[in-house]
Structure 1
Amino acid sequence: MQQHTAEVEGVRVDLRHWIGGERVASERTFADISPIDETELGQVAAGGAAEVDAAVAAARAAFPAWAGLPVSERCDILRRVADGIEARIEDLSLVETRDNGSLIRSHRRGVMPRVAMNFRAFADFAEKQLGHPDMEVPGRGHRERITYDPAGVVAIITPWNAPLMLATWRIGPALAAGNTVVVKPPEWAPLTASLLADIMAEAGVPAGVFNVVQGTGAEAGAPLTAHPDINRLAFTGSVPTAGVISKAAAENIVPLSYELGGKSPLVVFEDADLDLAVEIAVEQFDNAGQVCLKAARMLVHSSLVDEFTERVVAKAATLRQGDPRDAETDVSALISRRAFEQVSGFVERAIADGARPLLGGGPNADLGGLYFSPTVLVDAALDSEVMTEEVFGPVVTITPFETEEEAVRIANDTRFGLAATLVTGDRDRAERVSSALNAGTVWVNCFFVRDLEAPFGGNGRSGIGREGGIWSFDFYTDIKNSVFSPTGWKED
C-alpha cells in the first residue's frame, strides 16, 4: 500500500500531486533520495501524460476567473502566500536541506526569505507599475493604450539546486500577471513544491490556479513541454535538456524563457583589493559548487596569481565539509550518485590532461558518500574540457593573464554567457571591462547581488530571454496596443 505522506525532519510532506486544488495519487512512484546520506525520504507520486493533461485542464479552467480578478485582489492573495512562507521558513528550510543537501543556514538566512520575496515583490510591482501611460500618435490625434494581458497557462520546470527559490522566481510574476501555472519540480528534490501547494491553498489561491505534477523529465516533463494548451514555458536546467524542450515547444509555437548553464569568469586585476578577491573566490564553493552563476574560471593577473592562489587554497582548506543540517557546515554533498561520478570524471580527466590540484582533487575520503572535496586546479589548458564545460561541483581553476585585453579575450572565450565577476581598484577599468565582457550579469567588486526589478538571464548557451521586473511581465503577458481614433464617435 502506498504511503501518501512522509515525515522529513519532523515535517509532514504530502507525496502526491496537487491538481485542481486536490491531492492526486499515481499508480507509479519514484524514490526521493537524500544526498546527505543516500537514504530514501519517501516514494513520490510519478506523474505522466494523464496527470499533465489533468493539471493543464485544471489550469485552463481556472484561468478566466483568476485573470479577471482586479490586479489588487490577485496581489493581496499572493502577499498572503508570502506571509505563509515566512511563517514556515523553518519547515521549508529543514525539508529542502534534507532533500537536496544545501545548507540549513543558507535557507534560514537567505533562500527562504527570498522565496517569500518572490511573491511579495512581484505582487507589489504588478499592482503599482504594471501598465503604461496612454500615448498620442504624433500629428494624428490618435490615442494608444498599452496593456499587459495574461498569456494563459504557464508551464514551469525547475532545477534541484535551489528548487523552491528558482521556482517561485517564476511562479510569482506569472501569477501576479494573471496566468495560471503548472509546475514540474525536480525529481531529485521535489518536496518543497508540495509544501508550497499547501501554503497556496491556505492563502486562498483558487483551485486550479497553481498545480504541481511530480515525476521524471522523460515521463512528466516531456508531455508538459509538448502540451498544446500551454501558452508559456519557463525552464531552468541543462543545455542538452533545453534543446529537447525547444523541439517539443516549437510544434506549438510556445514562447520560451531559459536559464541554463554557465562557465563564468572571475577576473582579478593587478590593482584589485586582494582580500576582497580571495573572499569572492572562496564563495564559489557555496552549495558545493552547484550554482549556475559560479565563477569557475578564475583569471588572475600574473603579478598577483601566486599570492592569490596561495591565499585561496589556504582559505578554502578551512571550509568545513559535512552534514548541511549542522549550521557550522560550509560545503555539503553533491545531489546524486550520477552527479558525483560526473564531477569525479571531470577532475580525473583534467589531472590526466596536465592540470594540477593544489587542493582536493577527489572525493572526501573521511566522509565517503557523495562528498567531493573542494578542489583548486592550476595549469589547465585554456581549451581543455575542465575550462570549457560546466563542472557542476566544488571545482575551480586558476589561470594567469598578462594584459587587460588578454583577460577579456579569455573570459569571453566560452559558449556560455551567464555571468562574470571582476575585481579592480580602477573605476575606468571597471567601466571598460564590464562593457566588454559577454555576460547577462556582470558583478564589479561584488558577487551574487540581485535586485528583483533588474533583468536576469544569459547570453549564448546560458539562456534565452530576460526576467525580473518589467522583463518578467513582458514574457508572462501578451502586450496589446489599442489605438483609438479621435473621430468616428456618435457625438461627432
Structure 2
Amino acid sequence: MTNGIFKIPTPTNEPGNTYAPGTKERETLKAELKRQSEIVVDIPVIINGQNIKTDTVKQVVMPHAHQHVLANYSEAGEKELRDAIEAAMDAKEAWANMPWEHRAAIFLKAADLISGPYRDVMNAATMLGQSKTAIQAEIDSAQELIDFLRFGVEYANQVYAIQPASMKNVWNRTDYRPLDGFVLAISPFNFTAIGGNLPAAPAMMGNVVVWKPATTSLLANYYFMRILEEAGLPKGVINFVPSRGSQVSEIVLTDSRMAGFHFTGSTATFQTIWKNVGENIANYISYPRLVGETGGKDFVFAHESAQADKVVASIVRGAFEYQGQKCSAASRAYIPASLWEEVKAGLIEETAKLKVGDVRDFRNFMGAVIDQASFDSIKNYIEYAKASEEAEIIAGGTYDDSVGYFVQPTIIVTTNPNFKTMVEEIFGPVLTIYVYENDQLEETLTAVDTASMYALTGAIFAQDRQAILHLEERLSGAAGNFYINDKPTGAMINQQPFGGSRGSGTNDKAGSVLNMIRWTTPRVIKENFAPTTDITYPFMDEE
C-alpha cells in the first residue's frame, strides 16, 4: 500500500501532425494505410478479456470503396450480452476498490500508446473505416482521443478534490463512489475519440462498462480496446460487444443493474431509450444516469458588418469537412442581402475546388459518407430541393455510389427560412442558405432560434461589437457551443467543452468535470471527534 496525495501529470492538448509532403509522419501513415488495406482483420466480441467468436459474422467495409472488406466481426447475441453484464458485475468490486492513481495510470498509458507507437494504426483505421482524410483522422483518433484520456484523468482528480468544509471537532468529506451497477455505452460512427471516451470516462470513475460500438467505426474502436488491454485494463471492466441496437435495448437496457447510459447518436434513438428507461424505472436498483449527445442543425449567421471572405472560409470548412458528418457541422446559414453576392461568388469558387474521393489520395478534401442508408437519405434531401420552387442548388447536387458513397458538396439557397433542409438534420455535405433583408434582422434571429428542435452549435460573424453583443444575447438558447467569428466545428478538450441542449442532448459537456461527476454517486461522511454525552439543549434549562 502506498500513501500520498499524488499529483497528476499536467495535461496539455496533444500537438497535431500536418502530414505535409516530405514529412516523416506522411510516409509512415501511408505505409500503415497500405498495410491495413491488404489485410482482413477478424474482430471478436471481447468479454472478461476473452475473445469470443459467434455464429453471426458481418463485414466492415471502406465507405469510399465499399467492395473492399476491412474486417469480419462477430456480432454479439443474447448470450454474449448477458455474459457481458455478468462479467462487468464480477469485475466491479475489485475495480472500484483499486486506488485511484492506479486506475488513472492505465488511461495515461493508453494515451501515451496512441500518441506514440499506435498513432498511425488508429489514424489509418479511422481513415479506412470511416472515410476520414488524414487531417480529420489526426484531430480525431489521435489528438482528441488522447486529450479525452489525459484530461479525463485530470478532471476525475478535480472531482475527487471537491470536498466540503469542516468545523471544530468535525471532519466532513465526500466519497465519490461509482454508480450502483454497470454503465451501458453506445458510441457513434463519426468520431473514434467519442467511441473511446464513452466507455472510458465512466471507467475512470470506477465504473464497469458494457460497450456497444457502432459497427461502421468498428475497426478503430477494436484497436482502441486492444490498446486499453495493453495499458493494463483489468478483465471485465470494459466489455466490447458489437451488436444490434434492438437486442441491446431488450437485454442490457432493461437489466435492473443498469445504472448509467453514456450515448452519442441520433435524437430518435436517445428519445426511444429515454422512454424505455422510464417504462422500466421501477425495475432498476437506482435511477439510471442518462447522458446523451444527439443531433444538431447547426447554423452560421452573418451580420451586415461581417467580412465576406471569412464567412465563406468558415462555411466551407464548417459544412464540408468530414462530409458534413460532424454533429457540429454547419448545415444552415443566414446571409444578409448586402453581403450575399460576394458570399455567393466566394462559396461557388471555393466549393468548386474541393476534391471528393478515396481518402488514401491525400489531394482529396472529402471522402465518402458512411454507408448506403446515409447516402440514400442525403440523396433524397438533394432531390427534394431540386424539385422545389422554394429552392435553388448553386453548387454540387450530384452523387454516385457505384464505387463509394460519394456526395458532392452541395449548397442550396431557399426563399423559405423554414424550408425542409433548413430545419431537418441531414448529416451530410449539404448546406442550405437563407438570404435575409438587412432590415429583417430581428425576424431572422427568431427564425434561427426557433426553426430547429436542436441547440448544439452555432456561429455568428460580425465586426460591430454592439452587434456581436446583441446576437450573443438573442441566440443565448440556440447553441450549447457558440462561436464568434469562427466555424461551428472543432471544439477542443479543455478549451470548448462540448454539448448542446433542447433536442441535442443533456448538455453534460463531454471532456469536462461536468461529465465526469455524472458517473459518481457521492457519499458524504461526517466524523465527530468529540461526540456529545448530553441529550438536552440549553433552551430546556430553567430561568
TM-score, length-normalised on structure 2? 0.83
8 A contact 2:159–2:516 mirrored in 1: no
In the TM superposition, what are the counterparts of 1:52-201 in structure 2 within 5 Å? 52-86=81-115, 87-128=117-158, 130-136=160-166, 144-151=172-179, 152-162=181-191, 164-201=192-229
Q: Deviations over 1:130-182 (max 9, x none)?
A: 33132258xx98664333221142211011112x2112233332222111222
8 A contact 1:154–1:179 mirrored in 2: yes
Q: Deviations over 1:259-286 (max 9, x none)?
A: 1111111001111132221111001101
SS of corresponding position for 1:256:
strand
Q: What is the alpha-carbon distance in structure 2 between the residues aligned to residue 298 and residue 282 of structure 1?
A: 11
Alignment equivalent of 2:524, drawn from 451, 460, 481: 481
In structure 2, give the amino acid aligned to 1:30: K
In structure 1, give the amino acid aligned to 2:203: L
Match of 1:4 in 2: none
Alpha-carbon distance, 1:455 to partner? 4.1
SS of corresponding position for 1:464:
coil
SS of corresponding position for 1:227:
coil
Match of 1:261 in 2: 295
Alpha-carbon distance, 1:70 to partner? 1.8
8 A contact 1:130–1:470 mirrored in 2: no
Alignment equivalent of 1:452, drawn from 475, 485, 493: 493
Q: What is the alpha-carbon distance in structure 2 between the residues aligned to residue 106 and residue 386 of structure 1?
A: 25
Match of 2:480 in 1: 440
**Structure showing greater Rg:** 2
Q: 1:278 to 1:192 in 2, by over 3 A?
A: same
Q: What is the alpha-carbon distance in structure 2 between the residues aligned to residue 462 and residue 98 of structure 1?
A: 28
Alignment equivalent of 1:243, drawn from 271, 275, 283: 271
Q: 1:273 to 1:107 in 2, by over 3 A?
A: same
Q: Deviations over 1:64-104 (max 9, x none)?
A: 11111221111111111111222211111111211121213
In structure 2, give the amino acid aligned to 1:275: D
8 A contact 1:350–1:384 mirrored in 2: no
SS of corresponding position for 1:189:
helix
Q: 1:79 to 1:141 in 2, by over 3 A?
A: same
Question: Cα RMSD between the aligned structures?
Answer: 2.4
Q: What is the alpha-carbon distance in structure 1 between the residues aligned to residue 467 and residue 171 of structure 2?
A: 46
Match of 2:462 in 1: 424
8 A contact 1:126–1:177 mirrored in 2: yes
8 A contact 2:66–2:403 mirrored in 1: no
8 A contact 2:324–2:330 mirrored in 1: no
Alpha-carbon distance, 1:444 to partner? 0.9
More deviation in 367-376 or 322-331? Answer: 367-376
Q: Deviations over 1:351-370 (max 9, x none)?
A: 212211001112159x7641
Q: What is the alpha-carbon distance in structure 2 between the residues aligned to residue 378 and residue 213 of structure 1?
A: 43
Identity score, percent: 25
8 A contact 1:309–1:398 mirrored in 2: no
8 A contact 1:66–1:209 mirrored in 2: yes
Q: 1:237 to 1:264 in 2, by over 3 A?
A: same
Q: What is the alpha-carbon distance in structure 2 between the residues aligned to residue 147 and residue 455 of structure 1?
A: 25
Match of 2:357 in 1: 322
8 A contact 1:233–1:256 mirrored in 2: yes
8 A contact 1:130–1:148 mirrored in 2: yes
In the TM superposition, what are the counterparts of 1:310-389 in structure 2 within 5 Å? 310-354=345-389, 355-364=391-400, 369-389=404-424
More deviation in 399-408 or 382-391? Answer: 399-408
Q: Deviations over 1:416-457 (max 9, x none)?
A: 111111111123332332233221110111233434345432
TM-score, length-normalised on structure 1? 0.92
8 A contact 1:268–1:301 mirrored in 2: yes
In structure 1, give the amino acid aligned to 2:70: L
Q: Deviations over 1:440-477 (max 9, x none)?
A: 11011123343434543222111124133210122111
Alpha-carbon distance, 1:481 to partner? 3.1
In structure 2, give the amino acid aligned to 1:450: A
8 A contact 1:72–1:127 mirrored in 2: no
Q: What is the alpha-carbon distance in structure 2 between the residues aligned to residue 303 and residue 141 of structure 1?
A: 70
Q: What is the alpha-carbon distance in structure 2 between the residues aligned to residue 231 and residue 119 of structure 1?
A: 22
Q: What is the alpha-carbon distance in structure 1 between the residues aligned to residue 304 and residue 486 of structure 2?
A: 17
Count the aligned residue pairs. Answer: 482
Match of 2:73 in 1: 44
In structure 1, give the amino acid aligned to 2:505: G
More deviation in 206-215 or 64-73? Answer: 64-73
Q: What is the alpha-carbon distance in structure 2 between the residues aligned to residue 148 and residue 435 of structure 1?
A: 37
Q: Which sections of structure 2, spanning at least 5 residues, go unmatched?
A: 1-34, 536-543
Alpha-carbon distance, 1:128 to partner? 4.8
Q: What is the alpha-carbon distance in structure 1 between the residues aligned to residue 295 and residue 338 of structure 2?
A: 31
Alpha-carbon distance, 1:491 to partner? 13
Alpha-carbon distance, 1:230 to partner? 2.0
More deviation in 423-432 or 45-54? Answer: 423-432
8 A contact 1:104–1:326 mirrored in 2: no
Alpha-carbon distance, 1:225 to partner? 2.5
In structure 2, give the amino acid aligned to 1:271: S
In structure 1, give the amino acid aligned to 2:198: R
Alpha-carbon distance, 1:62 to partner? 1.2
Q: What is the alpha-carbon distance in structure 1 between the residues aligned to residue 415 and residue 257 of structure 2?
A: 48
In structure 2, give the amino acid aligned to 1:473: M
The yes-or-no answer on 1:410 pairing with 2:450 is: no
